[in-house]
Amino acid sequence: MSVTLVRGLNWLGDAVMSLPALSAIHKAAPLDDLVVLSGPATQAIYALAAGVKKVLVDQKGWRSRLKLLKTLKSLAPQKTILLQNAFGAAALAFLARLPERQGYARDARSFLLSRAIPIAPQSRLGHEVFYYLDLLKALGYEASYSTPRLAISDPKTPQPWPPGFRVAIAPGAAYGEAKRYPAQDFARVAQLLHKELPLSIVILGGTGEMAAAEEVAKRLEPDLKALNLAGRTSMSEALAVLNSCQLLIANDSGLAHVAGALGRPVVVLFGPTNPLATGPLAKKKLVLLDPADCAPCKNRVCPKKERICFLGLKPALVAEKILAFLKPKNQDGSPTLFWPIDQADWAEPNLSLPNLNIVKLPLASPEELRRIINQYKVDFNSAFWLSSRLDFLAFGQKLGGQTIMVVDPKNPQPFSQAYRLNPDLAAPDLSRGLEWIASQI
């Protein structure tokens, strides 16, 4: 039996964003044993990934590393793919004398790899999920986009949910304090939602997020009690809780990605980081942000006295948007794909989607565009707007549907500007944008 070893990622969100790449590897050789080497925090994620036979864990400490080297040598994989960029990942594979060590030419590690892949300019832009898929494509895989998915075979939760609409709240974020929506505002959002829905609250997080979780629980009024599990669950138990929830409200964090991969609706409050690069890829998601002039800065701690990224996300506004998000959309008819006719280098898409209507729109004023599209019978709730032009996407965003920005590597500036527009996806090229659309239909 042939064995393929994949060095996975150490952070929850990154691990989930690498799942489509793992899926592509498994589909290419479904009879091979697919083994993942991960960090301790992501072991439970990769254990649930489709096609993964076994998960090894890279523990810190020289004794653990020596033991791991022996394990890798005995595993004797025919191929090793390093999704992780670290020098150490390549050094470990080299010291274990693993053949076919493949990965990006990053972190001064090319001499340790049997095949070092240069990073294409477009792979540095767009969503991180395509970064891993582009590596596989360069290695010769059929690496089309697929939605990250996790499936739990035993959905038992560590404690029973209280009755009501099951909402999980994750008020922490491992990257830093600047990414955290204020705990008192999380509590206020929950309280406002409770006026409209009989909520059942569970609070999740790691040991470093227990203080924020306690603050949320303390701020809730007596009519809304919460089960606070922050710091009290294993990753497997947290997965079971998320699998049982009907909604997750979170900061930009790993749990947001995990809940989305489990198929749960996700609301994410973004601050100093860019959802176009690392936002969750859930089928049903709501990304909320109020761009400050200095965002996205990626600072761990906001240099201002207040976390200014969240000043415009008042609890009343957040609750209002969540309630609108939870209402089912009335979708009538086949989905429509709009793109501007000035994209002369864009060929007609070759998609096996007979129910997708394609409409090319000319460059025109918003009033003229509206007059043109009114000639079509279009359900704008199920429409897609695909372009590298921000003005075109802004027009589509006002009408509803989903917007996909195609990044131009020759002119990366619009990618940073698009943060304020907040389209649903940033794709590194046209084909990736079309693959994502295909996954949504």
pLDDT reading at 250 higher than 90:
yes
Instruction: For residue range 408-422, list pLDDT tens digits in order.
Output: 877 776 677 788 889
Q: For position 349, what pLDDT does the model report?
A: 57
- Residue 11 resides in a domain: yes
pLDDT of residue 302: 80
**What residues have CB less than 8 Å from 62, skipping those under 6 apart?**
none
Tell me which residue range forms the domain holding 33: 3-138
Q: Which helix (H) or strand (E) segment is 216 a member of?
A: helix 210-219
Please tell me whether residues 132 and 60 are part of one structural domain. yes
Asked if 172 and 319 sit in the same domain, the reply is yes
Give 3's strand partners: 33
What is the Cα–Cα distance from 345 to 348, expressed in whole angstroms?
10
| 283-to-5, 63, 160, 165 alpha-carbon distances in Å | 29, 43, 27, 20
Lowest-pLDDT choice from 100-104, 160-164, 334-338? 160-164
Residues counted in the chain? 441
Q: Is 137 exposed, middle or buried (0-12, 13-18, 19+ CB in 10 A)?
A: buried
Number of domains, the chain: 3
Whole-number pLDDT of residue 345: 56
State residue 280's pLDDT score. 95
Q: What is the tens place of the pLDDT at every residue in 354-391?
A: 678 888 888 788 888 888 888 888 888 889 999 988 88
Sheet holding 285-288, edge to edge: 226-228, 199-203, 165-170, 247-251, 266-269, 285-288
End residue of a domain, out of 326, 344, 360 = 326
pLDDT tens digits, residue range 343-355? 655 555 555 666 7
My answer on whether 305 and 371 are in the same domain is: no
Residue 350 sits in a domain whose CATH number is 3.40.50.1000
158 in any annotated domain: no
Identify which has the larger pLDDT, 115 or 369: 115
pLDDT score of 344: 53
Same domain, 299 and 170: yes
Q: 149 lies in a domain?
A: no
Write the pLDDT tens digit of every residue in 257-294.
999 999 999 999 998 888 999 999 999 999 999 887 78
Same domain? 305 vs 285 = yes
Q: What is the pLDDT of residue 309?
A: 84
C-alpha 37/C-alpha 382 separation (Å) is: 40
